[in-house]
């Protein structure tokens, strides 16, 4: 049986072009159809050394083909940490030797490893040898079960490939989405480029944009191909999608601004209803959807009022007084010192915190803060705009 590489394009969103290709091992089924050999690597009936020989053969074929191409792209090669245990400390590194033999500039090669089997210290030493040779490093399936932050810190990868399953689950929101956003933020802070693979729909492409991805790959663009194609092939499609992305976000931002104006107007009504350390809610107008609770603190952060919670029922809204948080200190929360900073600037009336998950209700919320004339601080928790929108990536697409 013959084994050979195919090449899946990796799209650079910023440049709207193909930045590189991932080399993927393939063979032909009895009917002549090209198929992946990925299942072989988890099949206990295949000898590991035979699989290693196949893998190295496919890698060398990919590098030989890559050396003949004139396009300014990179080649991404998958290496299992299991294979890394077969290379002794002072032995030549097969992939580096292959690249030299084929005349490939090592700076155009990305070593992509999947965290899993393999001894950690040996893997790190070998990856450092790849980097010393000039090759770049990518961590694949980041966010899956074997991900380790210590490897991220030690290796400082050039590319972080988000785990495909996590990426797709995150589109439904909840904790998975927050994990993805945390990884995206981690990539930005470490200088790594985020790559979302498995992009199969327009909606998944939009979500990759929301995650801050620099690169995407998947069947929405191309499957693994037998040959390289024109680097500008995705330009028209990506340009159209980016135009749509911007238009949708302009609409989203306008709705968000109107939402915040409505919330701040009601917040002012609440401020007028404060009596000592309590809220006289009997004459307040109906609260807008998304308004959750209000409470009062001293300037040292101590909460001196109950939580005045809005309960939403079939017949409307009603206020509930909850004393559980009386005496709690919130001075360590960003919304607290942001409000005090706004006081010193004088021109800023209200502040709104970054989104966070409300412990009591479970949804994403923000906190609005306003200093009262006597130095106390009035806070209101409001739902993040669009939190109840379930069809996030269809007709009601929005960004948080």
Q: How far apart are CA 364 and CA 177, in angstroms?
A: 12
Q: How far apart are CA 33 and CA 84, in angstroms?
A: 31
pLDDT over 80 at 295, yes or no: yes
Identify the CA nearest to 189 among candidates 149, 222, 144.
149
pLDDT band at 400 (very low <50, low <70, confident <90, very high): very low
- Residue 290 exposed, middle or buried by CB count within 10 Å (0-12, 13-18, 19+): buried
- The 10s digit of each residue's pLDDT in 378-399 is 999 999 987 655 444 433 332 3
More confident position, 232 or 173: 232
Cβ atoms of residues 162 and 183 within 8 Å: yes
| Sequence-separated (6 or more) residues with CB below 8 Å from residue 33 | none
CATH 3.20.20.450 in the chain is located at 4-223
Across all residues in the chain, what is the average pLDDT?
87
CATH 3.30.450.20 in the chain is located at 260-383
- The 10s digit of each residue's pLDDT in 99-151 is 999 999 999 999 998 765 445 667 778 888 999 999 999 988 887 765 556 66
Three-state secondary structure readout of 129-187:
HHHHCCCEEEEEEECCCCCCHHHHHHHCCCEEEECHHHHHHHCCCHHHHHHHHHHHHHH
**4-223, CATH topology level:** TIM Barrel (3.20.20)
Give pTM, 2 decimals.
0.84
- The 10s digit of each residue's pLDDT in 258-284 is 999 999 999 999 999 998 899 999 889
Q: What is the pLDDT of residue 42?
A: 76
Task: Report the CATH number of the 260-383 domain.
Answer: 3.30.450.20
Query: Of 237-241, 296-300, 389-393, which gets the smallest average pLDDT?
Result: 389-393
Alpha helices in the chain (DSSP H): 48-67, 81-84, 94-102, 120-132, 149-155, 164-170, 174-190, 202-210, 235-272, 334-345
Q: What is the pLDDT of residue 11?
A: 98
Q: How far apart are CA 99 and CA 78, in angstroms?
A: 14
pLDDT over 50 at 238, yes or no: yes
């Amino acid at each position: 049986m013959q084994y050979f590489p195919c090449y899946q394009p990796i799209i650079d969103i910023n440049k709207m072009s193909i930045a590189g290709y991932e080399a993927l091992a393939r063979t032909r089924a009895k009917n002549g159809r090209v198929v992946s050999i990925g299942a072989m690597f988890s099949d206990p009936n295949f000898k590991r050394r035979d699989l290693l020989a196949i893998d190295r053969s496919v890698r060398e074929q990919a590098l030989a083909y890559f050396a003949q191409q004139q396009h300014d792209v990179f080649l991404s090669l998958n290496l299992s940490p299991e294979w890394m245990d077969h290379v002794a400390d002072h032995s030549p590194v097969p992939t580096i030797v292959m690249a030299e033999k084929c005349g490939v500039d090592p700076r155009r090669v990305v070593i992509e490893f999947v965290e899993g089997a393999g001894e950690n210290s040996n893997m790190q030493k070998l990856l450092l040898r790849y980097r010393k040779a000039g090759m770049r490093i990518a961590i694949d399936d980041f966010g899956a079960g074997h991900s380790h932050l210590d490897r991220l810190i030690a290796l400082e990868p050039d590319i972080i490939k988000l785990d495909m399953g996590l990426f797709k689950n995150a589109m439904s929101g909840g904790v998975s989405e927050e994990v993805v956003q945390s990884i995206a933020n981690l990539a930005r802070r470490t200088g790594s480029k985020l790559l979302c693979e498995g992009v199969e729909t327009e909606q998944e492409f939009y979500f990759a944009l929301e995650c801050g991805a620099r690169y995407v790959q998947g069947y929405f663009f191309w499957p693994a191909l037998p040959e390289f194609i024109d680097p500008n092939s995705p330009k028209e499609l990506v340009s159209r999608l980016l135009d749509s992305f911007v238009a949708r976000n302009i609409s989203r931002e306008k709705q968000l601004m109107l939402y915040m104006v409505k919330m701040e107007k009601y917040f002012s009504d609440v401020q007028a209803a404060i009596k000592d350390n309590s809220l006289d809610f009997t004459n307040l107008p109906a609260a807008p959807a998304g308004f959750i609770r209000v409470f009062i603190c001293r300037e040292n952060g101590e909460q001196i009022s109950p939580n005045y919670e809005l309960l939403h029922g079939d017949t409307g809204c009603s206020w509930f007084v909850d004393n559980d948080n009386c005496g709690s200190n919130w001075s360590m929360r960003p919304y607290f010192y942001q409000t005090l900073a706004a006081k010193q600037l004088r021109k800023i009336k209200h502040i709104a915190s970054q989104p966070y998950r409300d412990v009591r209700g479970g949804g994403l919320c923000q906190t609005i803060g306003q200093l009262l004339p006597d130095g106390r601080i009035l806070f209101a928790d409001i739902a993040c705009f669009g939190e109840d929108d379930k069809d996030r990536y269809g007709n009601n697409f929005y960004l948080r």
